[in-house]
Structure 1
Amino acid sequence: MNPSSLRPDYRAAIGMITPSANLVVERVTSAILADFPEVSGHFSRTPVFGAKDLFPDDYDWDGMLGAARLLAQARPDVLVWNGSKGATLGFDVDRELCRRVTGETGIPATTSSLALEAALGSLHARRIAVVAPYVTGYQTKLVAGFEREGLEVVAHAHSGIADNLAYATVTDEAIAAMIRDVATARPDAILTWCTNFPAAYGVDALERELGIPILDSVTLAVWHGLHMIGHADTRGRRWGRLFSEPAS
């Protein structure tokens, strides 16, 4: 087959900003976009690493906007912060992030947290369970952040890891065990929350086993970016029920 025959008529592009110590976002994004050959993914990083957050109560605005400016030079159709911190800062902070990114670049923007808001609206889900790799203090902060958004956290589980890079080392078996544990509370949806947490690969099988939607923070960001440029559809269904849902 001539390679030129594989070229789509229109090539859309998603720009992803990811934490600097992240090993998961690029892998999962590229794997999902393999089902959408007309859409390419492009990446920029902002400093997030180690066990200590240098900006615990806000974003590193210079780092975030610098990463967005670099991506904007490639003129993607949408810019996405594929990071989970907005859940602790508040969704309004992510809305401000998107306002600033779009104001500087002229490109529409979204985040993992705003994608979650859209997905929960589509599912009419308010009772959630949360699975994450964090230490107890940060997990408590995360749960409180979701509750400030009007969500009821009925169960949660976490791995107790402090280092950002080490989040990616949690095994499939450990993630599945935590998901099954919180599923006993029968939430409307289960969140696997941290974009360096390799939960996306098991979502479809566990959803089918448990009968509960599972929303992964990395997958959410890709899904919402695809929706914003008019390319999300059931071709992504192997990544979970989310790809059967419209964005509200």
Structure 2
Amino acid sequence: MTRIGMIVPSSNTALEPATSRLLADRADVTVHYTRIPVQSITLDGTGAAFDVDTMLAAARLLADAEVDCIVWNGTAGSWLGVEHDRQICAAITEATGIRAATSTLAILQVCHDFGITALACASPYTDDVVEAIVGEYACHGVGIVSHAEWKLTDNLSFGRQTPAAVAELLSAAAPKTEGAQGVALICTNVDGITVTGEVEEALGIPVIDSIAATLWWAMELAGADGRIPGAGRVLEQASFRHRAKKIVTELRERTGCDRTTVRIDDAALGLHVDLCAAESCAPGVRSIQHDPSLDQRKLETVMWLEEKRQVLVQPAFVEPPYPPQALRDVYGVSAQALGPVEREGELVAWFSAHSIGERAWTADDLTAMDDARHALRSLLNKN
């Protein structure tokens, strides 16, 4: 049994019912709550107690229940600063010996694992709070390209909004012309769980609901299975993408190449090879993760993988199979190694290791590729 402890704003009426609904079929996870004073959200700090001492007092009560992790289920760090949340987590862990996290850290973790650097923001907050959020997220590599808000301060009023109003807010936050790669509902007293599916289908991008993201990251930290099918892309995919991100990052670091990606066909996870499931880029290297412009299965290199089922090593592009011209012209790739991954006899995934300059691929590089392929096979077999 996994026990999760959550520190909740006192006037929050949304997150506990939403979390209970999400865990309705999870007999292996229980959530235990305690509250701190929060009545309104303003930049001057009146109406809320977000200080470390208040958080510690609440955390110590949860520690009495021997929970496996403690999360501050509030998004104040989105405007007060990530460092504020990290200080809270460090203090909780030092005092209780229990791992700790916050909603803001969870949202940013989702952005990292999904490769989201262009984010739409939906919130109930006033303009000055939103402006602070925009500035804080930019400091962590996430640009907020569009946003919509209700301009409210009374926290209790946030939770009174209807599902239709929440769906409208999310849609208004992410006009397709702005190119957002995901839309975050930043507030744990606004329940976006009931509309996540319909909004994702309409917008074609993930909805990062604060309540869902916090629950996912809490389960990860506590060692529980963080996947909840049918509850939106974050709860369906984040655990898998989190692990896939680690695999491609290790592959890039071991090979010293400029970019590594993995593309996966898995209907159960909602993944398709025309978009990368995970990517790792060296500093200054352009991301390819959200470019869906090519039919990957029809590429000459991928058809070669389908036929040969072995690693394709290309120190330079001087002979077939040739990569797409866009890979060379748009993304500057001059050499690559591709590693196929099979499941039940089908080519279901492949790694790409890209180099901006022509290069030889060493035996150590190919060992790293084989290790990545084995790690992904194991991960796929668990899902």
TM-score normalised by length of structure 1:
0.89
Q: Which amino acid aligns with 1:226?
A: M
Instruction: Name the CA distance, whole Å, in 1 between partners of 2:56 and 2:43.
Output: 18
Deviation at 1:30, TM superposition (A): 1.3
Tell whether the 8 Å contact from 1:134 to 1:160 is kept in structure 2 after alignment. yes
Tell whether the 8 Å contact from 2:78 to 2:133 is kept in structure 1 after alignment. yes
Aligned positions of 1:200-211 closer than 5 A? 200-211=193-204
Q: Which amino acid aligns with 1:194?
A: C
Task: Give the 3 Å change call, closer, same or farther, for CA 127–51 of structure 1 in structure 2.
Answer: closer
Task: Determine which of 153, 168, 173 is the counterpart of 1:162.
Answer: 153
Tell me the SS of whatever aligns to 1:173: helix
Q: Which runs of 5+ in 2 are unaligned?
A: 246-383
Deviation at 1:226, TM superposition (A): 0.8
Q: Which amino acid aligns with 1:171?
A: T
Deviation at 1:212, TM superposition (A): 0.3
Instruction: Name the CA distance, whole Å, in 1 between partners of 2:38 and 2:110.
Output: 26
What does residue 21 of structure 2 align with?
A: 31
Deviation at 1:206, TM superposition (A): 1.3
Q: What percent of counterpart residues are identical? A: 33
Instruction: Name the CA distance, whole Å, in 2 between partners of 1:54 and 1:68.
Output: 25
What does residue 64 of structure 1 align with?
A: 55
Instruction: Name the CA distance, whole Å, in 2 between partners of 1:54 and 1:183.
Output: 28
Instruction: Name the CA distance, whole Å, in 1 between partners of 2:208 and 2:30.
Output: 22
Deviation at 1:231, TM superposition (A): 1.9
Tell me the SS of whatever aligns to 2:30: strand
Tell me the SS of whatever aligns to 1:239: coil
Tell whether the 8 Å contact from 1:18 to 1:82 is kept in structure 2 after alignment. yes
Render the CA deviation track for 1:48-93: whole Å, top value 9, x for unaligned: 1146577469832221111100010000011011100011122122
Tell whether the 8 Å contact from 1:17 to 1:68 is kept in structure 2 after alignment. yes
Render the CA deviation track for 1:122-157: whole Å, top value 9, x for unaligned: 101110000001122222222222223232111000
The structure with more helix, counted as a fraction of residues? 1
Aligned positions of 1:125-204 closer than 5 A? 125-184=116-175, 185-204=178-197
**Which one has more relative contact order, counting CA pairs under 8 Å at least 6 apart?**
1
Render the CA deviation track for 1:191-231: whole Å, top value 9, x for unaligned: 00111112222112211222100101111110001111222
Task: Determine which of 193, 208, 215 is the counterpart of 1:215.
Answer: 208
Matched residue count: 237
What does residue 356 of structure 2 align with?
A: none
Instruction: Name the CA distance, whole Å, in 1 between partners of 2:202 and 2:72.
Output: 31
Deviation at 1:18, TM superposition (A): 0.6
Q: Which amino acid aligns with 1:237?
A: P
